Every structure is written in structure tokens, then in C-alpha cells.
Amino acid sequence: MPVRTLTLDVTKMAAAQWVVASLSAENMILQTTLVLLAVFVVTRWYLSTPKNLPPGPRGWPVVGNMFSLTSETRCLTVTEWAKTYGPVYQMRVGRQRVVVLNGYDVIYEALVKRAEDFSTRQFGPTTRIINPQQLGIIQAPFGTPWKEHRKFTLMSLREFGFGKRSLEGKILEESVALQTEIMKIGNGPFDIGRMIQNAVTNVICSIVFGSRWEYNDEKFTRLMDTLDRGFSFNFASQLAIFFPVLRFVPGLGKGLDVARNVVDTIKSYIKEEIDDHKKTFVPNDIRDLIDSYIKEMKSRENEEETTFTDDYAEMVLFDLFIAGAETTSTTLYWAFLHMILNPDIQAKVQAEIHSVLGHDKPPSTAHRAQMPYTEAVLTEVARIGTILPNSVIHATSRDTSFRGYHIPGNTTVLPNIWSVHHDPKHFPNPGKFDPGRFLDAQGQYQRDDHVIPFSLGPRMCLGKQLAEMELFVFFTSLLQHFTFKLPEGAPTPSTRGIHGITHSPKKYELIAEPLT
């Protein structure tokens, strides 16, 4: 072999060995770097993770336990986990830690006895879309502005008969209008849900805006359609809210668009009402809640810092409108579902109504004490339906120790009302509709503190008195004049609800037979 060729081969081999050695060294450096980086990340995560957190179910990376919280079984899943992890546990929704409180004693301790620690709101994904400044009452943090506006709103509402018999006139007016609409249907089957929603929404409109709508009004119909969309978020829509990147996925991004559209539509209507009220405002003639806010805003115009602004008033009115329109109508929708499924119970309610009121005397909350069975039925509806299974989600205002666990400040806290209302130890056979749970041996109504549809503590729903009045008056007045039945040959409606923003029945139809 020529010397030149041999020299070249040796040179190539040396070069190749050098390249291999260099690559091996680079791989070792890369591997070492990756290992050190992994150790750094894990160590940082370990050191930054608070110790002694509540236990909880393992979740998937990034999404956490979200895929276990499907629409059909969410309440059951969250309640079932408490059997494994205890009454205080944590789960993950995306990257968000959520501490779940189960059982009456635990929820009462947190929301009532430890209210200062558990009564704020977190600036979460939904709030960023609906209320980025956290104004109003529902999503506002626990603090002076929230307390000031809640107090002012309650005082103003009382001036318009909130919790008083004077408000019954507005409710009875809507009850008559609702009966008229039902009579138009005749003997055919129909879905009573939208009619109830119209009537209940008109009550809150008369308080907040000073006027009611005709049920066939085009603008009112659009507003009701918007409400329906807002409260029927499915699981995919909720995913898109927690993970905005999913808006680019076909079929999922609609959740964000729907949320924004609902909020913008309703707020636009409220702003229009505020502007119109300002044009006709007379200080000595306060017609409704908007006028009350305008008067208060004018009295504070010279203050350097005030939260009584158009933006804040707009959000307070938004909260009242949303809460006042949806939860009561959904409760009544559950009530009539259980009446057509339990005709014997409906007959007992009607017998009691007619024994106290006859067929013509309008109902009043003054009659509640004389109608214990009706009261028990409405309480059972609130229990078994559980319109807000997780209340309005709370958050911790600071680091706190609770039931032996450390819960960091600004942690989302979910009071599981479903676990209270469906606790088999307190309510045997909780899935059965049984008003007898709330009657004593003499057939008198007995109140049960474990029925908490309006939640507990400082954040308790401020519309509680109005809702109770509406439920009683609408329910008794309709059963005073109609018997509701399942259409002949129709399948039995399901009592398994839909989990959107609220827990609502699946659509069903009934027949209303007038009583003479």
C-alpha cells in the first residue's frame, strides 16, 4: 500500500475518533445539563409547594382532574371523592388548586365561624372574562367596597318592598300573567320552563328597572335567549374558559365567544337603562334600584375616591339581574317536574291550598304558616334539586390552617352543598322525593338547618327573601288553578339534572288542566 494512502487512512481514522469523542462529550454535557435542570425544577417545585396541604385525587398533567368532572356526574364525583380523601380535600382544575369542603359541619365552620378567612373571591378564568375588574357583589373580593355595596343594595331593595308584603303585588301580577299564558296553550303538552323564566325575570325587572315586559316582546325574548345560553355551558365550553388556547380548536372555542356575548348583551341592556334613567331622574321620585344608585352616585360626586360609579353600578345590577332571573325559575322548574312525577303529592298540596285559600283568594306569604305541607314540598325541592351544588365559589383571603391542613391564601374553595343536601346520614335515601322529611309527628313544618340552597355566611345570597316569596306565591297560585300532568304516552322525564352554571332539569313537557 502506498505510504500516501496509508497516511490518509490514519488521518481519517483519527479525525473520526476525534468527532466521536467530541459528540460523546457533548452528549454527556447535554445529559448532565438536562439532569441538573430536572433536579432544579423538581427541587424548586418541592420547595415552593406548601406543606401539609389537604390530600386529593391524582390528576393529569396540565389539565389536572378536569376530565373527571364531566357534566353528568360532576356532583356525584366530587362528593364521592370525600369518602376516600376526607371532608377537606384538594383537586386540580388545570393549574388551579381547588379545596373542596364537604358536609354541613365543615362548610358551616368555614363560611360562618371562619368567614374572614373563607369569604373572598379568586380572580380566576371565568372572572377574567365576565368581570376583569371584579366589580359588583358576586365576584367582588371580600373587603370594604363589597361590604359597602352589599349594604347599600339591601337597604335600597327593602325600600322597594324586598322581604315585605308590598312586593307580593308584583309577584301576584306576574302570576296572573303566567296563568293567562298557560290558558292560551289549551289541552296540549308544553314546556313550562320559559314561561316561568319570563315571570320570574319580570319580577326582578320591576324592582331593578321599574317596569315589566310583555312575554312576546321581541327584545325581552332576545334577552331570555341570552340568559339560556349563559346558563347552559357544557363541559367543552368550560374547558375553553380554563384553557383559552382551546379557542383555536374547532367546536371548543365557542365557549369563550358565548361567555363574552352573554355578558356584553346583558350589560349593554343595563347601560341603556341607566342612561335612560339619568335623562328622566327626579331626586324626590325614586322609581327603582337604578334611581337609587343614580341618587347615591350624585351625592358622592365630590368625593375623591368612591366606588359608586357607572361601571360599578352596572355590574351590581348585572349580578342582581342574573341571580334573580335564573335560580328561582330553575327551582320552580324542578318543582313542577316533581309534581307531575308525584301526582299524590301534588293532590295533597292542592287540598291544603284550597282548604286555606279556596279557589279564588290570592296567596300571601302570611299563609305560609297555615300551609306546612306546601312548605315541606318546596323545601324538599330545594334540597333534592340543589340549584347551586357548589354555591358561588369562594377563596381564602390569607394563609390559614383548617381542620389540620394548611390552605394558602388566594386558594379556590368549593363548598360542596350537594354533599349536605344528599348526605344519607342526615337524609336517608336522599334521591327520593319525600316532603315528609320536614314534617313532625303532628304534620307541622319543621325547619332543617341542613337545607342551605342560599349558602351560608356573609356571602349568603342577598336575594333569599325575594326568592322564598316568589317560590311560595308562584307555586301555590299555579297549583290553586291547575293540575299538572305528564302527557299521555310521553316517556317519564329524568330527574338527573344538567350541570351548567346551575343544576337544572332536562327539558320536559306537561299538560295543565284548569281547576274549576
Annotated binding residues for heme: 461
Dihedral of CA atoms 502, 505, 506, 512 in degrees, nearest 10, equals: -140
The three cell numbers locating residue 229: 345560553
Contact 295, 284 (CB under 8 A): no
Task: Give residue 276's Cα distance to chain centre.
Answer: 30
Contact 82, 48 (CB under 8 A): no
End-to-end CA, the chain: 122
Contact 138, 392 (CB under 8 A): yes
CA angle 35, 40, 42 (to 5 degrees): 95
- CA 414 to CA 508: how far, in whole Å? 30
- CA 145 to CA 130: how far, in whole Å? 19
CA angle 311, 312, 313 (to 5 degrees): 95
Dihedral of CA atoms 30, 35, 41, 44 in degrees, nearest 10, equals: -130
DSSP string, 466-516: HHHHHHHHHHHHHHHHEEEEPPTTPPPPP---EESSSEEPPP--BEEEEP-
- CA 282 to CA 397: how far, in whole Å? 41
The three cell numbers locating residue 16: 473520526
Rg of the Cα atoms in the chain: 29
- CA 105 to CA 268: how far, in whole Å? 42
Dihedral of CA atoms 206, 209, 211, 217 in degrees, nearest 10, equals: -110
- Classified as helix, coil or strand, 366 is helix
